[in-house]
Amino acid sequence: MSSQGAYSTKAPVVDSVLETLSNTVRREAIRYFEDSVNGDAAHIAELATHISHRIPSKSHEQLKTELHHQHLPRLDEKNWLAYDQRQGNIRYYGNERAEYIIEEVQAIF
């Protein structure tokens, strides 16, 4: 019973991380920064170019639009990054709990 109680306190955090990672474009944006040798800052055009190479079914302009209106605001809201919508600048912070949660989910499957 105590493990169920512990899970119930973790559930909202787990749900939030999994919801954030449920979209391919958001996963690619996070991957871009996690794998980047250029640090934790980028411009939306640079990020869209990178993702367009990883997801060739989406054009650069389509990705810029999606990133600007959907994905970057969502990641900003969840505190994964800071997005300056006027300038198009992104500063990535990551999520220290995400790696742990992903490992936990992988252990289940």
- H helix count then E strand count, the chain: 6, 3
Which tens digit of pLDDT belongs to each residue from 2-51?
Answer: 455 556 777 888 888 889 889 999 999 999 998 887 789 999 999 999 99
Which tens digit of pLDDT belongs to each residue from 90-105?
Answer: 999 988 877 777 777 7
pTM of the model: 0.82
The residues, ordered by sequence, that sit 6+ positions from 94 with a Cβ below 8 Å of its Cβ are 30, 33, 34, 40, 80
Topology annotation, domain 12-108: Arc Repressor Mutant, subunit A (1.10.10)
Where do the structural domains in the chain lie, given as residue ranges?
Answer: 12-108
Provide the sign of the torsion angle of the four alpha carbons 101, 74, 79, 34, taken in this order: positive
